[in-house]
Amino acid sequence: MTPRYILALDQGTTSSRAVLFDETLKPLASAGRAFEQHYPQSGWVEHEPDDLFGSISEAIGEVMRKYPVAPQEINAIGIANQRETTLVWNRRTGRPVHRAIVWQCRRTAELCRQLEAEGLGDYIRKNTGLVPDPYFSATKIKWILDHHRELSPDDLLFGTVDTYLIWKLTEGKRHVTDYTNAARTMLFNIRTLDWDNVLLDRFGIPRAILPEVVPSRGNDILCNHPLFDRAPIPIRGIAGDQQAALCGQCCDAAGELKITYGTGAFLLLNTGGEFISSRHGLITTLGSGTAPGRPEYVLEGSVFMAGAIMQWLRDGLGILPDAAKAAEIAASIPDTGGVCLVPAFTGLGAPYWNAEARAAITGMTRGTTSKEIIRAAEEAIAFQCADLIDAMRRDLERPIQSVRVDGGAARDSFLLQFQADLIDCAVERPAYAETTLLGAARLASGSNTACPMDLTTFTPKMSQEVREEHLTRWRKAVQTVLKA
């Protein structure tokens, strides 16, 4: 059999997905599995490692039942994954020593404050492109090691989710990550493209527990797992989900920007070979085009709460029966009546980087109803992204002509129109929304060919005066939570 299919996997924060593509990157079948979130304390978020691999395994099985192909017909596997989420397991038994600590978890906020107080913040920014924040993996690794001192480091392995999945798929034969995931650990020097000894020493993390770092494409890591009847299928593509989405949006040139609206919202701007050290609260990271000795840099801003706000309205407040109805409800009223929701449930990320900020709803009156709050929640996603695009424009020092969007909330036309209005820039939505998986497939295929895209474009309609009124109200509300 001539291998002619590509299997793309996306292990995300709340679910895992699999899509089978043909050699032209046309999707043929897809499947997804949600899994449980664990919140052992306020601000703590964990996953069961078995749920991560189990949900991916179930999604793979369903795809291959929907579109039966022999494992030998699969030419390559591409993996995209939630980034920063941290796993440590026993290299001999394969058993995790702790639940995975999720990127959203804030348990190490105090350690991050200590790093700044020690004056290490500037070193971290200059060499990793990141900022001291619980978001990233380094402090999570330290927390796990500190809480399992009975274990010998000689018995342990660390990995982000891609590393763990590959270790499982190769049955413990390969312990690797790619440049895009390594760059999110706050331990990887994105100038030298190597683990940083200064930071390893500060965190007390042995280099021996860290994975080998490889490019995002062109690998030949053989998966030889019972899921595929032990057919030797190469894992050729690996990338953090946001860099995979950037690739899936074909943002291959410097100056091209995408937003992924998922549980959080993630904005990535390709800057090519230029390392831009942000002056406005963004971080610098590596893109999927990075190869040994040849970095590709990306400016990134992260919004911690995007789609997760709608989950809170539904499950926490109980005022939104179905998250899919949010746009319809928001559009049913002319405005929020002055209500503004700042969704700092787990602190504020870029450009504020305030782990202590907490959420607030401002501007409510006796006449405020659930509709105004739901519309304010929709607008809050766009406001947060507008802050980051403003920071990118100032760092880049040149205009951004258009923005590509993807993710679950990209189906929300109310949100995208409001986004275009706020940033005074065209917003483009591809017809095929699974761009993270498309990016994983594109990386696995080894092709640089841009995928033809059927785009829906949202152009700005809001006057400058009204735009400024909206932004002023938002900035005042943000200042309220920053001062609290």
Domains of the chain: 5-242 (3.30.420.40)
SS (H, E, C) 331-391: HCCCCCCCCEEECCECEECCCCCECCCCCEEECCCCCCCHHHHHHHHHHHHHHHHHHHHHH
Q: What angle do CA 267, 481, 263 make, to 5 degrees?
A: 35
Q: What are the tokens at 150?
A: 């009975």
Q: What are the tokens at 129?
A: 């492109």
Q: What is the pLDDT along the chain (484 residues), one digit of tens a residue?
A: 676 899 999 999 889 999 999 988 999 999 999 999 999 998 899 999 999 999 999 999 999 999 999 999 999 999 999 999 999 999 999 999 999 999 989 999 999 999 999 999 999 999 999 999 898 999 999 999 999 998 998 999 999 999 999 999 999 999 999 999 999 999 999 999 999 999 999 999 999 999 999 999 988 899 989 999 889 999 999 999 999 999 999 888 888 899 999 888 999 999 999 899 888 889 999 999 898 889 999 999 988 889 889 999 999 999 999 888 999 999 999 999 999 999 998 888 778 878 788 999 999 999 999 999 999 999 999 999 999 999 999 898 877 877 999 988 899 999 999 999 999 999 999 988 889 999 999 999 986 655 656 889 999 999 999 999 999 999 999 999 987 6
Residue 191 CA to residue 286 CA, distance in Å, equals 10
Task: Tell how far CA 338 is from the center of its chain.
Answer: 31
pLDDT score for 369: 95
Q: What are the tokens at 456?
A: 């829906």
pLDDT score for 241: 93
Cis ω on the peptide bond leading into residue 334 (within 30° of 0)?
no
Residue 6 CA to residue 236 CA, distance in Å, equals 10
Amino acid sitting at position 55:
S
Do 199 and 142 contact (CB within 8 A), yes or no? no
Do 313 and 376 contact (CB within 8 A), yes or no? no
Query: Helices 435-445 and 241-248, interaxial angle, to 10°?
Result: 80
Q: What angle do CA 116, 211, 300 make, to 5 degrees?
A: 50
pLDDT score for 44: 93
pTM of the shown model: 0.87
Cβ-Cβ contacts under 8 Å for 26 (sequence gap 6 or more): none
CA distances (Å), origin 158, targets 163, 176, 221, 334: 8, 10, 18, 51
pLDDT score for 452: 57
pLDDT score for 123: 96
Residue 144 CA to residue 101 CA, distance in Å, equals 9
Neighbours of 455 (CB within 10 A): 12
Do 239 and 216 contact (CB within 8 A), yes or no? yes
List pLDDT tens digits, range 38-70.
999 988 999 999 999 999 999 999 999 999 999
pLDDT score for 16: 96
pLDDT score for 478: 95
